[in-house]
Amino acid sequence: MNRSFNKSQPLRNPNCNAVEVKSKYGAEFRRFSVDRVKPGKFEEFYKLILHIHRIANMEVMIGYADVHGDLLPINNDDNFVKAVSTAHPLLRIFIQRQEEIDYTNFASNTITRKKKPVVALRNDVNRKRPHIRIGMPQDFRPVSSIIDVDILPESHRRVRLYRHGSDKPLGFYIRDGVSVRVTSHGLEKVPGIFISRLVPGGLAESTGLLAVNDEVLEVNGIEVTGKSLDQVTDMMIANSHNLIVTVKPVNQRNNVVRSSRISGSSGQSSDSNGSTGHMYVNIGGMPPSGAHGYQDDLESDEDNDVVIEKNIKRPSQRSNASLASSASRTQHQNPTTTSGSAAPPSPPTRPLSVVSTASFHSQQSLNGGSHHHQHSSLSYQFHKDLNLQHNPHQHNPALRHSNGSLHKILSSLKTDPRNSLALPRGGVEEDGTVITL
Amino acid sequence: MKRFRRHGQESQRDRLKQELFAFNKTVEHGFPHQPSALGYSPSLKLLAIGTRSGAIKLYGAPGVEFMGLHDENAAVTQVHFMPHQVELVTLLDDNSLHMWTLRGHNGLSELLEIGRFTLTGPPGAPPSVTRVTAVLAHSSGELLLLGTEGGHVFVVEVPGFRELEERNISLDQIASSVPDDYIGRRNLEHVEALQENPVDPDQVIIGYGRGLMVIWDLEKKLAIQHIPATQQLESVCWTEDGKYILSSHSDGSYCRWMVGGQDTNEEEKSDIPYGHFPCKAISKIVQLPTEEGPPFLLFSGGMPRASYGDRHCITVIHGKKHVALDFTSRIIDFFVIRDGPEHTEPSALVVLVEEELVVIDLQTEGWPIIQTPYLVPLHSSAITCSHHVSTIPLKLWERIFAAGKHQNAHYSKKPWPVTGGQNLAPDPPQRDLLLTGHEDGTVRFWDASGVCLYPMYKLSTAGVFHTDADPNDNMNQGTEGEWPPFRKVGCFDPYSDDPRLGIQKIHLCKYSGYLTVAGTAGQILMLELNDEAAEQTVEAKVVDLLQGQEGFRWKGHTQLDIQEDPVMFPAGFQPFAVVQCQPPAVVTALTLHSEWKLIAFGTSHGFGLYDYQQKNSVLIKCTLNPSDQLAMEGPLSRVKSIKKSLRQSFRRIRRSRVSLRKQHQLQEANARLEAELAEMELAPVQRKIEARSSDDSFTGLVRTLYFADTFLSDSSHNTPSLWAGTNGGCVFAYMLRLPSVEHRADEPVTAQLSKEIQLMHRAPVVGIVVLDGHGAPLPEPLEVAHDLARAPDMQGSHHLLVVSEEQFKVFTLPKVSAKMKLKLTAVDGSRVRRVGMAWFGSSRTEDYGESGLLVLTNQGDVHVVSLPHVKMQVHYPCIRREDVSGIASCVFTKHGQGIETPAHTFLPLFYWGSKYILFRIQHQQYRCVSKNAAKHVMEHALLNDESEYKGRRIS
């Protein structure tokens, strides 16, 4: 028996495409409807909500109760569409002010306790399950995905491991082995590369998409046949920032079945939710960046070389008085440096969040423009989309020690460059003014 | 993304590619690997060497070399020239015989295989019946006598390998005529020796392993005489006049037998030259008469077993002179060259030992060694690095040559006695030097201009330091009255007294004559050429690369102690400054800028810049990763770690013993431990897949250093700069400030850090090059000043090329941003091992050429990558993937500016293992197997000569 049938008789027009929305903000309820077929954009919906509740100047978080009674966030087009399409019959919306969000509420069975005893049976089941917490969307990032399901044979699986930003090691080993191929002469034994071990707690193991004795067929689109174990190892390591392995799983029972897609949301390996066969293991937040070819990603991902440029006044420029003085101050602050070259800037009183290239033309503005920093003759410029995780307390001390600074900077850069907050691009000029906070 | 190609352009480019980058292997230098047989033709004056890998090499006059390779991968056990013919026969380990000939072709000769043959015995006979143990190439040039293990002698007609069954000498025929009283008659054993009577070609002597020798008449088909020796036979020699037969035996004795009519012959003379105590076998004996005076008696082996059984000796006795030549490795074979009007006078003894070829002048008093023009053992002390410099200015060349002359005083003045063939090669168009650094602290200078690699000069750096080694313990004459009268010969000496002396990096500036070498214990020597011997006090500067990094303790070797007193240095390169790195780790990168008078050096801990004019240190930078513990262990750490792991496992056992009281529990634990061990042993080879991280070991190891005058800070002013690349994919750039010329001696040189680049893929940086506005690499220091290179384009924007083990990346300058890249490892799994810049000129149009990057991968492939667009052009398999040392030792050279060079365009690359091969990429097919394989070697230089510092994250 459909539980909602009892409760929601108020369907006035069953043929209507409208979905009834019951929106709750604090103690206030608002009721309105959206089109089930064309719900529109999340952006519009968000504005509508603010308008209806008359809370226009507030940052809010919108959540909804899904069919299982879980409180899930709506924060992009996809989960909005999902929310509307699964609303049966009523879409229950919960609004929280951004600063008041109680993240603990977002969990798998958060709303069920509010449910009526009708769902007692379900509750029984729930009681046996451990209480799973679902973090906020911004905490999510893809760790792995099955891709190209539509173009690969069903017996193969192409797994993409997103290592960036993860502290987890890739965590697997490969070995030589013998594979059996079907050729024109019948079955033939050929050398192959196999996964020999998964490190417990490693990325490969945690995805559940790779297993011991899976045969490795391709690495980032390049076949491994005819390549030695060392070559394949080197290829994998060279691609480790964005590793795509095509395997022939030793266990063929979990294969993606293309003809009849199973819909589910628990992120198991048999899952598939995109028309292209892309699968995000993590449900929720991450807006799927689309059915991009992984090559593009790969390219962009890799140019993240860190360049630290330290602008030095050329000897010939020393006549510039203001420069000379600032230079001498720098020297003065670091009397201990042996070579006089690697003079680190004096420690800022408060950590810098953003630093940029300072050209010597603009250095006069250094002191005037800064609120609570001394200027530094060292300026760090981070190229392209290499972004620092905004954790200045963590990485800035590293910046201060210019001796061996890169090691430290980079170890602090391990977090995902893509999904963390970006440097405010507008404020960073290539060779110009200094940005201070 | 599809590109639409314009077909015409594409094919034109392809043609150009083929023209520019054709690849050929041309010359092999050095000593063949594992020689196994030696032959000589007195008529052709050619010597032949067979190797364990089935190669056959012929050498004549310097420059005349032939090489052939048997299809079978079997060792060549015997080589025999057909007397007075151009054919030679080889016997292989697999019992096959091969006939080779030298065939004229367009005025040149080629070594060709013209036939092969395997003896077939009667059906059902055991294989030993046809197993060939002795070969006699009959002086008629038509017959080949093959003695076998079964004791038969087969006669084969050559060429054509037709078995002459009716002439075979079966064991039965011999056995029936053996005197009844001969004790060994039941089993004569195999045919050990076959020799022809020098005066009667119909008579041959057949020597059996058991000792019996039979003189057989080939025409009459009967035994003429039996010589009943009772010792195991080793070799037989028929004297020139045919009157005597010498036999050598396994007990270290030799006997002389009169050839006469009587059958019951008593030995005329018997001797155990090093007797009293048991001796080793005399494996070969030769007696040669002289025009006047006593004959030469030469034999190998025969040493007293207990005291000198491990020596490799050839004894030469001539009248009262008696010398036991003590060789450095096992003797393969020897022969004597005879000259004089009748070609009877012994003039030179040629000895092939496992690691070198030694020729001894028998006509000059003291029997000095004749310096070999080829087959020089490059590896006489293990080669630890190499450096190639080309187009050496004549002045410098002559000075090095003169310095080398002093050192070669002990060599014989006689010309090289093997004179067969004629070197048709034109003189090399230019002078090239190859410098090899050795484990014993020497640097050897080789003339690499032509087809031969000729030793020019040897520099020893050991004199600068206090070592335990006695500097002159080699090449000493045996002390007076010693018996046997040993004399050491040969230069192969693989044992280093102090491994810290080993040379790791060399850089020679050909314009200024400054040389810098760096070694295993962090020592860097600056040397300059001095034509006179001089006494010098060497100033040492200790440089602390740790720069106060704490928590590290160096566990490797100690630094070398400098001789504080003035040291007398012979003419040649003399040190004037020494830098010692602290910790004394292996120097991994070294570069010299003679115009700025600076050297930069790096180890696994950091790098430094040293001003050798003012003799002070300009810059020290520690690149050590604070979490890197391995970097502090010395080169012996591997041994230690094994020890450590053993210790740990013992501790584990002990701990389990202590904690477990009950016996069965102990057994259980032991069983578990055993199972653990078994699992470890049985586990298949597996590789860990893990991204590199900043915590990896040896990330701070400096792989490459580079000086460039480029735009580092702004695009309008170029400044001197120093670039350093590390194993962890990090590049540091320093801006240098040099005082003006007049103040160079007193104002300090300064360096300021300008840029740090961390490659995200963290692969080791193996090469850094700055490309000028035209995309051409910047010229070497002083090259432009000497009008030998076009001045770099300083108008256009410069680019920085960073070569890591995995990819090539071009950055803009002065603002460093990635512009282009080429990935290698991510695409085909190979890694860059060696990289060099090269100039590829066109053969058809003199003025067209391209700069390219030459890359040798760990798969042994050579790739040519275009500049500045880093596009893969061509690739050739070059060295076998398994030949790790060959790949490690490869040196690229660069074609120079083409002054007065023929229109050949090619690019040589060298590679040495125990041998030395010159590969060449050139535009036209070149036949290597010509009578003369010499070609023109072009300008070479080395961008990078990194040894294997594997920063690989496997395991």
Per-residue pLDDT tens for A358-404?
A: 333 333 333 333 344 443 333 344 443 333 333 434 444 433 444 44
Q: Does the beta carbon of B829 lie under 8 angstroms from any beta carbon of chain A?
A: yes
Kindly determine whether residue A338 and residue B620, on different chains, have CB atoms separated by under 8 Å. Answer: yes
Q: How far is B547 from chain A (nearest CA, A)?
A: 9
Q: For residue A414, which of B803, B824, B758, B551 has the smallest C-alpha distance?
A: B758
Whether A44 and chain B come into contact, CB under 8 Å, resolves to no
pLDDT above 90 coverage of chain A, percent: 5
Binned at pLDDT 50, 70 and 90, residue A279 comes out as: very low
pLDDT at B650: 59
For residue A335, cis peptide bond before it (omega within 30 degrees of 0): no
Token digits of residue B502: 């080993």
Which residue of chain B has the CA closest to A177?
B684
Contact A81, A121 (CB under 8 A): no
Residue B807: the pLDDT is 92
pLDDT at B630: 60
B772 domain-assigned? yes
Residue A311 lies in a domain: no
Phi and psi at residue B639, to the nearest 5°:
-60, -45
Residue A365 lies inside a defined structural domain of this protein: no
Our count of domains for chain A comes to 2
CB atoms within 10 A of CB B473: 9
User: Whats the size of chain B, residue-wise?
Assistant: 955
Confidence at A355, pLDDT banded by 50, 70, 90: very low
Residues 255-274 of A with CB under 8 A from B: none
Q: Which domain holds residue B293?
A: 238-262+270-377
Where is pLDDT greater, at A102 or B754?
A: B754
Contact (CB, 8 A) for A52 and A62: no
A342 touches chain B (CB under 8 A): yes
Q: Do residue A88 and residue A181 come from a single domain?
A: no
Residue A349 lies in a domain: no
- Residues of the domain holding A192: 144-253
Of A307, A309, A316, the CB nearest to B717: A316
Contact (CB, 8 A) for A179 and A215: yes
Helix, strand, or coil (residue A414): coil
Tokens of B544: 């602390």
Say if residue B341's pLDDT is above 80: no
User: Residue A141: which of A242, A280, A304, A277 has the closest Cα?
Assistant: A280
A390 residue type, one letter: H
Name the pLDDT band for B791 (thresholds 50, 70, 90): confident
Q: Does the pLDDT at position A17 exceed 70?
A: yes
Owner of token pair 């089935």: B54
Q: Which residues contact B34 (CB under 8 A, 6 or more apart)?
A: B51, B52, B53, B75, B354
- B690:A171 CB<8 A: yes
Whose tokens are 């899904």? That residue is A66
Count of structural domains within chain B: 4
- Does the interface ipTM go beyond 0.90? no
Residue A230 CB: number of other CB atoms within 10 A? 18
CATH code for the domain in which residue A32 is found: 3.10.20.90
Is B690 touching A (CB cutoff 8 A)? yes
A92 and A186, same structural domain?
A: no
If asked whether residues B853 and B877 sit together in one domain, one would say yes
* pLDDT range class, residue B409, cuts 50, 70, 90: confident
Under 8 Å CB pairs connecting chains A and B tally to 187
Cβ contact, residue pair B761, A232, below 8 Å: no
Chain A residue closest to B758 (CA)? Answer: A306
Mutate to test the interface with B, among A218, A234, A242 (most CBs of B within 10 A): A234
Reported as a pLDDT band with limits 50, 70 and 90, residue A194 is very high
What pLDDT, on the 0 to 100 scale, is given for residue B497?
73
- State how far the Cα of B686 lies from the Cα of A230, in Å rounded to an integer: 9
* CB pair distance less than 8 Å for B695 and A411: yes
The verdict on A154 and A75 lying in the same domain is no
The alpha helices in B241-366, defined as continuous H runs, are 305-308
Distance of CA A3 to the CA centre of its chain: 36
Distance CA B254, CA B248 (A): 4
Per-range mean pLDDT, top range of B467-476, B737-746, B837-846:
B737-746
Please report the pLDDT score of residue B378 as a whole number: 73
Q: How far apart are CA B782 and CA B789, in angstroms?
A: 9
Q: Do A304 and B618 touch (CB under 8 A)?
A: no
A158 and A232 in a common domain: yes
Q: Which residues of B touch A239 (CB under 8 A)?
A: 826
Please list every residue in chain A whose beta carbon sits closer than 8 Å to the beta carbon of residue B828: 222, 227, 231, 235
- Whether B689 and A172 lie within 8 Å, measured CB to CB: yes
Q: Is residue B723 part of a domain?
A: yes
CA–CA separation, A84 and B34 (whole Å): 80
| Residue A427 in this model has a pLDDT that exceeds 80 | no
Contact between B185 and B175 (Cβ < 8 Å): yes
Same-domain check for residues B702 and B558: no
Nearest CA in chain B to A238: B826
Inter-chain CB proximity A431 and B754 less than 8 Å:
no
Report the range of poorest mean pLDDT among B547-556, B623-632, B657-666: B657-666
B361 and B454 share one domain: no
- Max CA distance (Å), chain B: 104
Judged against a pLDDT cut of 70, whether residue B13 lies above it is answered with no
How high is the pLDDT of residue B894? Answer: 61
What does the pLDDT read at residue B43?
Answer: 87
Least confident of A101-105, A333-337, B168-172, B728-732: A333-337
B775 and B837 in a single domain? The answer is no
Residue with the larger pLDDT of the pair B285 and A124:
B285
Residue B37 lies in a domain: no
Residues of A with CB below 8 A from B627's CB? 407
Q: In what order do the strands lie in the sheet with B523-530?
A: B503-508, B514-519, B523-530, B572-582, B539-544
Which CATH number is A207's domain given? 2.30.42.10
* Cβ-nearest to B755 among A308, A405, A430: A308
- Mutating which of A194, A203, A407 best tests the B interface, going by the most B Cβ atoms within 10 A? A407
Q: How far is B843 from chain A (nearest CA, A)?
A: 36
pLDDT in tens, B415-424: 999 988 877 7
Q: How far apart are CA B411 and CA B616, in angstroms?
A: 42
Mean pLDDT across the stretch B188-208? 90
3-state secondary structure of B21: helix
**Same domain for B895 and B802:** no
Within a domain: B293: yes
Q: Which residue of A has its CA nearest to B605?
A: A404
Peptide bond into B868 cis (omega under 30): yes
Arithmetic mean of pLDDT, B706-716? 89
**Which of B566, B598, B626 is a domain's end point?**
B626
Give Cα B244 to chain centroid, integer Å.
43
Domain boundary among A236, A253, A270: A253
DSSP line for B338-354: EETTTT-EEEEEEEEET
Nearest-angstrom CA–CA distance, B854 and B21:
10
Domain match, A93 and A148 both:
no
pLDDT band for position A57 (50/70/90)?
A: confident
Q: For chain B, what is the mean pLDDT?
A: 79
Lowest mean pLDDT, pick from A410-419, B85-94, B598-607, B786-795: A410-419
Q: Which of A233, A241, A341 sits opposite B619 (nearest CB)?
A: A341
Q: How confident is the model at residue A120, as a pLDDT?
A: 40
Least trusted range by pLDDT, from A188-197, A365-374, B393-402: A365-374
Consecutive H or E run containing B801: strand B799-804
A328 found inside a domain: no
- Tell me if B370 sits within 8 A of B427, measured CB to CB: no
Identity of the highest mean pLDDT range in A160-169, B70-79, B486-495, B660-669: B70-79
| Dihedral-angle region of residue B679 (phi above 0 means left; psi in -120 to 50 means alpha; beta otherwise) | alpha
pLDDT over threshold 60, residue B832: yes
Measured between CA atoms, how close is A262 to chain B, in angstroms? 33
**Measuring CA to CA, how many Å separate B644 from each of B558, B649, B650?**
21, 9, 10
Kindly determine whether residue B690 and residue A170, on different chains, have CB atoms separated by under 8 Å: yes
Is residue B370 domain-shared with residue B503, that is, in the same domain? no
Domain membership of residue A81 (yes or no) is yes
**In chain A, which residue's Cα lies nearest the Cα of B760?**
A305
Nearest to B301 by CA among B227, B250, B242, B341: B250
Q: Kindly state whether residues B785 and B735 are assigned to the same domain.
A: yes
Here the tokens at position B43 are: 């008529």
Q: Report the first-to-last Cα separation within chain B, whole angstroms.
A: 38
Q: Are residues B292 and B435 in the same domain?
A: no
A286 in any annotated domain: no
| Residue among B833, B607, B834 nearest B731 (CA) | B607
Residues B323, B349, single domain; the answer is yes
**Cβ neighbours of B203 (radius 10 Å):** 21
Q: Based on the fold, state whether residues A90 and A151 are members of the same structural domain.
A: no
10 Å CB burial of residue A303 (0-12, 13-18, 19+) is middle
> Does residue A410 belong to the interface with chain B, where contact is any CB pair within 8 Å?
yes
Residue B276 shares a structural domain with residue B364: yes
Model confidence band, residue B123 (pLDDT cutoffs 50, 70, 90):
confident
Residue A371 lies in a domain: no
B624, A227: Cβ pair inside 8 Å? Answer: no
For position B443, what pLDDT does the model report?
93
Query: Using a CB-CB distance cutoff of 8 angstroms, which residues of chain A are in contact with residue B626?
Result: 404, 407
Closest residue by Cα to residue A250 from A218, A214, A217, A209: A214
Q: Is there a contact between B281 and B251 (Cβ–Cβ < 8 Å)?
A: yes
3-class SS of residue A139: helix
Beta-strand relationship, B433-438 and B383-389: antiparallel
pLDDT tens digits for range B528-546: 999 888 888 888 899 998 8
Between residues B719 and B934, which one has the greater pLDDT? B719
Most confident of A417-421, B383-387, B513-517, B916-920: B513-517
Question: Do B619 and A307 make contact, defined as CB atoms within 8 angstroms?
Answer: no
In chain A, whose CA is at the least distance from the CA of B628? A407
Element (H, E) at B609: strand B606-611
The answer as to whether B860 is a domain residue is yes
**Residue B373 falls inside a structural domain:** yes
Helix (H, G, I), strand (E, B) or coil at A85: helix
pLDDT at position A397, please? 41
A316 touching chain B per CB within 8 A: yes
Position A297 confidence tier, pLDDT thresholds 50, 70, 90: very low
Residue B390 and residue B448 in one domain: yes
Same domain, yes or no, for B332 and B389?
Answer: no
- The DSSP call for residue B563 is P
Nearest by CB to residue A406, choosing from B714, B758, B858, is: B758
Which has more pLDDT, A391 or A407? A407
DSSP assignment letter at A250: S
User: Do the domain assignments include residue B710?
Assistant: yes
CA gap B498, A380 in Å, rounded? 47
Q: What is the tens place of the pLDDT at every residue in B817-828?
A: 888 899 999 888
Residues A148, A216 within the same domain: yes
